[in-house]
Amino acid sequence: MGQDSRQVIVDSFGAFLGKHSERLRISMKGQVVEERPFHEFDHILVASGGVSLSSDLIQECADRGIPISFISGLGRPYARLMSPGLVGTVKTRREQLLAYLDGRGVTLAKAFSGGKVRNQAALLKYMAKYRKETAPELFEKVRATALALDDFAARIQGVTAKKVEDARQELLTLEGHAAKAYWEAAGDLIIPETGWEGRQTRGADDLVNSALNYGYGILYCQVERAVVLAGLDPYAGFLHADRAGKPSLVLDLVEEFRQMGVDRAVFGLLNKGVGLEIEDGRLTEESRRTIAHRVNERLDGDEHYEGKKHRLRTIMQLQARHVATFVRGDGRPYRPWVGRW
């Protein structure tokens, strides 16, 4: 079990979560191991199998607007409990669906794709600056890749189409070329001892990819919460194509936060020699706990946003609201958040 700011993480097999007065109570084998007042947190993340919850706790969380998210040991989100009263206005969802058929959808798809690539470039610049004196050749190589990514982002912004379906393939092609360059450069920046052979998503059983995938699962839960609280339909996306059971809008919005929220956290742990371990193709419990803690530290870190500093998880919520106001016609065109380096 652990606490990261306003999130409670439950990662121990056999834990029982219940309600005691105005507090969340976590027990193991009948013994209370942790209590926390409900007003001190706004999200529960269950990151282990064998965890039980009382119906009283579920009702209390629903009444207070506290979602309960579930991810597997591989970082795959598979369920969420949330009050149906937190879905926002019908107008937002109607306009979100209509936006798919006009220029608003193209604007959003380009913003999500371009924001991802710009943040990839920003993270490479951030990591490379520490190699300027110690490894000047590597510094120049990575900087050149970052500049190439900036060019890809500009090309993404230059895509023209009347509907997102007419723009998607070109956007994904440009994004794919950028991703290939990004992961190659990232591999050069990670200490060789990891033995990393490149990015792999589903079915990954090596340390680096497993750590990234687990971190993305934590990030995904936060973005899904932001999307739902903004009154948006998580399954009606723009850049990612529709598919049954696929929360496309969550996958869209998560793109601009992967690099600064997860990649930076995981690369930092690896390069500092923090003892992450794999057993039988899966991260150990202690490794998962370490990754969760570091990712949540990043999400609670202050970042520049619209002239002020906000926690990164707050920026996610604000960005989701900007999507909502844009599709409703109440705000400026949606612009991605890009981290500083």
Look at residue 153 in the predicted model and tell me its pLDDT.
Answer: 98
pLDDT bucket at 201, cuts 50 / 70 / 90: confident
Check pLDDT > 70 for residue 2.
no
pLDDT bucket at 1, cuts 50 / 70 / 90: low
Q: Name the CATH superfamily, with its identifier, for domain 2-66.
A: CRISPR-associated endonuclease Cas1, N-terminal domain (3.100.10.20)
Check pLDDT > 90 for residue 335.
yes
Mean of pLDDT over the chain:
91
Check pLDDT > 80 for residue 301.
yes
Q: Which of 108-112, 241-245, 310-314 has the lowest mean pLDDT?
A: 241-245
Check pLDDT > 90 for residue 275.
no
Q: How far is residue 142's CA from residue 308's CA, in Å, rounded to a whole number?
A: 30
pLDDT bucket at 72, cuts 50 / 70 / 90: confident
Determine if the pTM surpasses 0.85: yes
CA 122 and chain centroid, separation: 17
Q: How far is residue 313's CA from residue 300's CA, in Å, rounded to a whole number?
A: 6
Look at residue 3 in the predicted model and tell me its pLDDT.
Answer: 52
Span 36-55, average pLDDT: 90
List, in sequence order, every residue forming a beta bridge with 24; answer none if it has no partner: 19, 36
Check pLDDT > 80 for residue 203.
no
Look at residue 88 in the predicted model and tell me its pLDDT.
Answer: 59
Instruction: Render pLDDT for 218-274 as a digit per residue (tens, 0 to 9).
Output: 999 999 999 998 999 999 999 998 888 889 999 999 999 999 999 999 999 999 988
Span 56-60, average pLDDT: 93
Q: How far is residue 116's CA from residue 175's CA, in Å, rounded to a whole number?
A: 8
Domain covering 90-328: architecture: Up-down Bundle (1.20)
CB 127 within 8 A of CB 272: no
What burial class does residue 212 get, using C-beta atoms within 10 Å of its C-beta: 0-12 exposed, 13-18 middle, 19+ buried?
Answer: buried
Q: What are phi and psi of 240, to 5 degrees?
A: -85, 135
Instruction: Render pLDDT for 140-178 as a digit per residue (tens, 0 to 9).
Output: 999 999 999 999 999 999 999 999 999 999 999 999 999
Locate the domains of the chain by residue range: 2-66, 90-328
Look at residue 85 in the predicted model and tell me its pLDDT.
Answer: 67
